[in-house]
Structure 1
Amino acid sequence: MKLGVIGLGTVGMNVVKILSDEKNRKNKEIGDIEVIKICDIQNSNIMGYDFTDDYKEVLNDSRIDTVVELIGGVGAAYEISKSTLNSKKNLVTANKHLLALHGKELFSLAEKNKVKLQYEASVGGGIPVISPIKENLFVNNFKNIRGILNGTCNYILTKMEEGLSYSKALEDAQFKGYAEADPTFDVKGIDTAHKISILAHLAWGELKEFSKISIVGIDGLTKDDIEAAKSQGLRYKLLGEANFDGEKLNINVAPIAVKKDELLYSVNGVYNAVELDGNYTGKTVFYGEGAGGDATATAVISDIYKIKLGR
């Protein structure tokens, strides 16, 4: 298996490092996996790899059968993803923004060109949730999916419950590296909406037009809101929720006051959790840290291995 990696940020660096570190152990089990070329706009100090700043060199390399897209956004990443699939190369991506907006087209291109499109890392980072829905729980007719899908927001809400104002909690999250300098996508619920949209597509086969998803973030919550919930034994969580009533797919993102007896009540700090309610399995919860270079890279590599194994 020959890979081209496009994007060498935190996740991309960790993907290359883990593949190198685990090469002897894992390649004995499933066969050789080799990184042929790496594309990044800035040269890297990783030795022993062929680098380029032109992604077309990756796509035009006939040796490469699988492209790992890790640049994020929907500009160049969209063009790269389309070109990859049209070049009859498999695509692995962690790009939830891309899939939420253009997934319908990309899934169709993968099917048309008879290649794989894998995206485990797009939801929950290192928490395995995409594969279980596709492979382990697919027989269910899901009643409802909901989850805490953004660790930044969950951390801020936890700190607000401990007494910080929204602005102070955000500042603390940024200081600790849990929030970006521009946290808009996180705190306004957009990132959560991307992820719940992907999960809904998996469960019910429909990718809802993103502009039609109801999205409310946490930036309007105050200390008084948090304290009022606490006084009633409730705890605010930013939830992405989806259900299909037989005719219409409903997706909403909003801060919800969760009861103590609910499974998501005790998910605090930067942790994420996804709750799936299936007609055969009942409620199943997937829980863990939803971000971080190593965790997300692990999910990316699991997709690479799936393609290698023909799954």
Structure 2
Amino acid sequence: MKIGIIGVGTVGGGVLELLDKERKNIEKRVGEKIEISWICDLKESVNREQNYRFTKNYEDILKDESVETIIELIGGNTTAFHIAKETLKSGKNLITANKYLLATKGKEIFKLAKDNSVKIFFEGAVAGGTPAVSSIYEGTFSGGIKKIRGILNGTSNYILSKMEEGYTYEKALSVAQSNGYAELDPTFDVKGIDTAHKISLLSYLVWDELIDFENIKIEGIDKITKEEVEAAKVLGKRYKLIGEAVKSKDGIKIYVKPSLVGEEDQLYGVKDVYNGIESYGEHLGETFFYGKGAGALPTANAIIADLYKIKNSNAWN
């Protein structure tokens, strides 16, 4: 399998590291050798040590007919959207961890994949290293799923955990940034937008319908005060930023908002940068997934798992 990697930042570097350290085991599971034909990034320094075939121009990879699968890791939904479209139009498979792209442009992307008989996988886009996406899609599809809910943003969860320790929102955010858990511009995380991207994709996988993003009701954690968190503790409850999707006879409804949860709720114990996802099925009952939602190697692990699916699984689109 010949692959090209576009975007060699934190996660892209993690993919290269895992392929270097675990190549024998990975290739055994995938069923064939994996060749990194190209890597693409705006910084030449990413190629100093390993000396892969390098380019600053992603078009070089798109034009290479020998490349079977492209891993897109640049983020955003402008240039990444062009890369995704051209990848699929050229008959190449696509792996991405870009939830923003798929939640806002997914209808066109999934249709292109279907029209061109290629595959697109995105395990790393929803819960980082937690293999919830594959498990929900492949393991619960016959369970009559009616609802999915979860803590899907480690940054917000970390901030809320720190506020329980007595920090103000501003101080908790500052600590999250200093520890590398929050971006300098944390808007997508604290405003609930990132969570909305992810619950939207989970909803699509379960019910095969991508809800227009503007129809999702979103509320973040940036208005929660230290006093509100303390009052919740007195009641034995915690604030958690929860994304929820529900299917009823009236259709699919998705919302994101801070919610008070008690000890009887499995999401109560999901702390710091961890994610927790619940699904409720008419025939299956309740399932629960827990793990790290971000990080270079956990997310890279999810991307490597998608290489296995490219070779051995049916398309999700």
Is the pair's TM-score, using the shorter chain for normalization, greater than 0.5?
Answer: yes
Give the deviation of 1:25 after TM superposition.
3.2
Structure 1 counterpart SS, 2:253: strand
Distance between the aligned counterparts of 2:241 and 2:50, measured in 1?
42
Gaps of 5+ in 1: none
Aligned residues of 2:203 and 2:209 also touching (Cα < 8 A)? yes
1:134 is matched with which residue? 137
RMSD: 1.0
The offset of 1:46, in angstroms, is 3.5
Q: Take 2:69 and 2:119, find their aligned partners in 1: how far apart are those partners?
A: 9
Once the two structures are TM-superposed, the CA of residue 24 in structure 1 deviates from its matched residue by: 2.7
> 2:39 matched to which residue of 1?
38
- Distance change (3 Å), C-alpha of 1:162 and 1:310: closer
* Matching residue within 53, 59, 62 for 1:59: 62
Moved more, 210-219 or 223-232: 223-232
CA distance in 1, matches of 2:50, 2:237: 52
d(CA) in 1 for partners of 2:28, 2:99: 32
- Offset from partner CA, 1:134-183 (integer Å, 9 cap, x none): 21111122121100000110011011111111101111111111111111
1:281 aligns with 2:253: no
What is residue 258 of structure 1 aligned with on the other side? Answer: 261
* 2:242 equivalent in structure 1: 239
Matches of 1:35 and 1:174, distance apart in 2 = 33
Residue in structure 1 matched with residue 23 of structure 2 by the alignment: 23
Q: CA deviation at 1:26?
A: 3.0
2-side partners of 1:242 and 1:310: how far apart?
Answer: 26
Alignment deviations for residues 30-56 of structure 1 (CA, whole Å, 9 cap, x no partner): 111110011111112232310001111
Q: Deviations over 1:229-263 (max 9, x none)?
A: 11111110000011011232110100000011011
The ranges of structure 1 where at least 4 consecutive aligned residues each deviate by more than 3 angstroms after the TM superposition are: none
Q: 1: distance between equivalents of 2:233 and 2:50?
A: 53
Whether 2:153 is the aligned partner of 1:153: answer no
Residues 1:241 and 1:310: Cα distance change in structure 2 (over 3 Å): closer
- Cα distance between partner residues in 1 of 2:24 and 2:103: 36
**TM-score in terms of structure 2 length:** 0.96
- Output the CA distance in 1 between the equivalents of 2:113 and 2:100: 18
Structure 2 residue aligned with 1:290: 293
Distance 2:272 2:313 in 1: 37
Structure 1: which amino acid aligns with 2:300?
A
User: How far apart are 1:128 and its partner, in Å?
Assistant: 0.5
Contact persistence 2:144–2:284 (CA under 8 A)? no
Q: Is the 8 A contact 2:3 2:70 kept in 1?
A: yes
Please tell me the residue identity of whatever aligns with 1:8.
V
Query: Could you tell which deviates more after superposition, 16-25 or 68-77?
Result: 16-25
DSSP-derived class of the 1:35 partner: strand
CA distance in 1, matches of 2:28, 2:204: 35
CA distance in 2, matches of 1:25, 1:302: 12
Among all aligned residue pairs of Structure 1 and Structure 2, give the percentage whose two residues are the same amino acid.
Answer: 52
- What corresponds to 2:90 in structure 1? 87
Cα deviation, residue 310, structure 1:
4.5
Structure 2 segments unaligned to the other structure (5+ residues): none
CA contact (8 A) 2:72 2:97 kept: yes
Q: Secondary structure at the match of 2:112?
A: helix
* TM-score where L is the length of structure 1: 0.98
| 1:267 alignment partner, one of 262, 265, 270 | 270
The alpha-carbon deviation at position 294 of structure 1 amounts to 0.1
Amino acid at match of 1:227: E
Alpha-carbon distance in structure 2 between the residues aligned to 1:309 and 1:254: 37
SS in structure 2 of the partner of residue 291 of structure 1 = coil
